[in-house]
Structure 1
Amino acid sequence: MKNFLKGLLVLAVLLSFILLSRFNFLLFHVIIELYSILIGIMIFILSTSTYQFVKTNYFTFIGISYLFVSLLDFTHTLVYKGMNIFPFVNTANYATQFWISARYLEAVSLFLSPFFIKRKLKLIPTYLGYFLYFIASLLSIFYFKNFPACYIEGFGLTTFKIASEYVISLILLLAIYNHWKNKDYFDLYVLKLLIFSIVSTIISEMFFTLYVDVYGMMNAMGHIFKLISFYLIYMSIVETSLRSPYRTIFYEFLKESKSFKDYIEYAGIMFLILDTKGNILLINKRGEEILGYKREEIIGKNWFENFVPEEIRDELRKYFEFLIRNNAFEQEDKFKENPVKTRDGIKIIRWYNTILRDEKGKIVGVISSGEDITEKKKEEDFLKYLASVDPLTGVYNKRVGFEIFQKEMGLSLVRNSPLAVVFVDIDGLKKVNDNFGHNEGDVYIKIITEAIKKNIRKTDTLFRFGGDEFVLILPHCDRETAERIIEKILVNLKKLREELNKPYEFSFSYGIAVFYPKEDKSIDDLVREADMKMYEMKKIKNKEGE
């Protein structure tokens, strides 16, 4: 549901941009370019400032490149036709030239970036190279005016501009190939974000081969897909650097980073590293506390043999082996919960798992962070219990009762067997309340419900409908069987009254309705029918008592 709402929000934002482009293209262009530029700057800040976490030059290179791409895009925005910031800018050609310059820089950078996964990046030459490209673009377009024309007023896009878009798209396709070729070095989710970003850029370029009017719909769609591509690059860095800093892309991340080891050791959650056979390679201080053993008692042991309850051991071991064999950890739900054997008994741990790779990209194990949610789980279970039962009698409340009723009707159809419904109304409750007080009335209600619960089958369900009314659901039960069950309850109530020596009778009126799979009856129909029959019985009793 949460993802669905996010999707609706994104769709609403994109539709708002499209509508804005139809009413005021220049405002649309400024807003969407500034968003892209802001995202580009954030990419630079995140990728360079979080290098200590990801320990790879790949994202550092990406960050530097997007800083200078953003500078070119900012210049493109300032000289866009209609902005009137520079008096000598009287044509759309300037903005289109800066656009092409920025896209070439972006495409080539994305193509080259995978080469820096394992290579050292010299920062000063890299910054200098990008800076010189930026200055060369400014001089070529503004001063020397030798940058090829990209847009001619009254004519539209030039052959150079259209050809460049196709060349840029080809470079981007090669960038996708280059990333895919190095897929073993990437977290699967991060790789998807990167590839979808490049695909969005290619789609953007295709739109920019089609427009004639710089204020037209094709131009607007191209800018929207450019924004999407920037955002996906940004998300890949956020996912790698901030949200999951312990999801390693490279083996060196754990092997060489002392600060990360310190973070693991003193983290407030359990950290565990297993090899591909499930043997424990590392556990942190919090892990020792949760398991109740010293590190030397844990390291080297098989996790499944020593810390997983026997009843789920084989299942979890096979699941672990399947995920390792198929590299499927990233395709699974991010969080898993399962019981763990500790010195103090069973505890419930909520896990976040991801794979570890060596310098060649080979899977060498799994790193898991675990939170002890045992007490939280007990609280949740207790709250669920409170929300599902009637506080006086301990039987299910009306909401849960009807949920079970619906389920049992479905099972009745599948099994092709009858389902009996008994509507119960406690006799004489008002008199008990009036003569002996409401506390005694509550005792009377509990006596009736306890007698019913003790004399029905495990498959039957009793829930409180309201006040002194209850509903009994009897699966695999026709009318005759239901009558026998009720008679048994009433007989036992008489015996119980004699044992307790209460000054009032123990009895209830009831009505039975039976659902047969071939009948077209709803839950409401069955309850109504049983309720009417109960009232008929109550009327007879009242007449007899007069």
Structure 2
Amino acid sequence: MINTKIIGRNKILINLEAFKNITLAIVLIITAVCISFKNYLLFHTLIEIASVTSAFIISIIAINTYKISYNSYFTFLGVAFAFVGGFNLLHALAYKGMGIFQDGTSNLATQLWIITKFIESTSILVSFNLLEKKLKEKTILLIYFIVSVLLLMSIFSWGVFPVCYIESSGLTVFKKISEYIIVGILILSILTLIKKNKMFHRSVYIYMIFSLVTMIISEISFTLYLNVFRISNMVGHILHAVSFYLMYKAISGTSLQRPYNLLFYELTQANNELKLKAQELEKSNEKLKAEIRERKITENKLIASEKRYKNLVETLPDAIFVHVDGKIILVNDEAKKLLGAPDSNNIIGKMISDFVHKDYHELLYNRLDKLKEDSSTVPIVEEKFVKFNGQTVDVEITSTSSVRRGKNVVVSVVRDITERRLLNEAIEYDKLKGEFFANISHEFRTPLNVIYATLQFMELYVAQNASGKIRETLEKNAKAIKQNCYRLIRLLGNLLDITKMDSGFFKLRLNNHNIVNVVEEITLSVAQYIETKRVKLIFDTNVEEKTMACDAEKMERIMLNLLSNAVKFTNPGDEILVSVEDRGESIIISVKDTGIGIPKHKLEFIFDRLRQVDKSLTRNNEGSGIGLSIVKALVNMHDGEITVSSEYGKGSEFKMEFPVRIFTAKNDTLEVAVDSNSIDQLSVEFSDIYFDN
């Protein structure tokens, strides 16, 4: 209750003091304005004396705090305001009408004024950046002395300082630009002060902000007058004095009236931090006692953890080598298997370099040095390890390190990549093989087209000019050549398709078709060929129409390939049955024959590339062994499945099941019209079959 009353009384006293100060300031300003109208020279002299006095008081107080200050802010500001006050005094003495200097114009006073304001604004900006730095007092003093001497000589000795005021026209461009530059520097000072506001006491911060704002308004006023005795000049001088007073209140008032709340209350902050440190130290002491009691428990847990770590290492699928300074101290069972060691003791105690191929020793040592320096993880690299029997094994290895009991412990994880490398080599070989097939196919097409075109011309010539046995012989030879051209065309087409399939460029042209009609037309188109071999061809279906999305051209190719295979392995009197069965959501297409059949042990690779059931030199038909592999690929691309069942000596059946899907919109892939001049697909697909003449 008593504290509340005391606080209330203090607030009343503070408010009364503030009221007195504001009233006094208003009275002084009104008095100054009245004096300016009566005698402007007297007004100017009094204002400048007040400003100079404030500057010197600020300087004295700031310099005397040098020994107790943690930074150079006070010292720098003290030296700066000493020189600011000096130049301000020279400005007052040089003012027009004082008669102290021989120059009777207002230019000299204006030049000294510009110098004063440049030093003042620049010093304030620089001082805010010295809040956390310490400079020698003599260094600061020497810098300001040299700068001041040079500036004075530029006016009084050399006469190089720009003219600031012309009696006939008023302020020069240089003077106005200088004032705006000074305003810019003061704005930067305000921004810097706002950024570092936490380093100032609140009252100091407020006084400084108001002081800098007043300076800015004052400088703007000094850019507006044409005559040094005008009102804008008077307002600028009054605001100039007010800004010095506010700066005085921020520094000298704070230092003298509130010694326990200095401009930077670093001591208070240090004391608070010290108390916090003391509290933390007390808590640390309490924790230390508990930690000592728990140390044994922790050691026991560590032993158990190491045991679990060893168990974990043993369960990992990769080889683990733990080594210190290159010497192996722990391995798991996979490491024994990798090196072919009979026991872990054959590995432990040896250097890791003993098992790394000599070609990789430099890489090993560089990685170990990096782990020793950084205690980090090195990336995965491929190396060769040497087994106990002297054989080398391809591995990839990564390592990580940590400091344990003052030693750099490295854990290396090693993986056998022999199988992966062989797989990559196989993939690369397969890729090269595909590229070879593609190149050889393209190389063969040009001469083959020439041969085929020449053959057509020859057939035309024979038909028109030859007769008798000569014509019969030529036609027989032309037929043999044409059939072998078809065979080459088929082989090249298959090779190109395989290459496209492997590279992912083989695409279907799907559209809605009546699949029953498609299969029936294909079957009927080969009837003439099959009849020449005296084989019966039957087509059967349990549905007349079934629309589904498919590539009709690829379906034709599938059916022709299966039918040609059926013809190859049937004898006169056998039959081939093509059937279509509707199962609602799927359709079954079957090609069944009563031919020689396929041996049971060869069914498993019937769809493999370049594999043939009949490889005998006496076989009646030719083939590359890739037709059925393409058939399977085309069926799979339709999301279908193909299976084969056969009994040797009784015949075979190829059964395909396709999902029934309908396109509701036109497919993006355009249909390609069949060229009337293109080689007959039927002749191409049946080119491997030798028909009787």
Category of TM-score, reference length = shorter chain: 0.3 to 0.5
| TM-score normalised over the length of structure 2 | 0.37
Highest RCO, 1 vs 2 (Cα 8 Å, sep ≥ 6): 1
Largest Rg, 1 or 2: 2
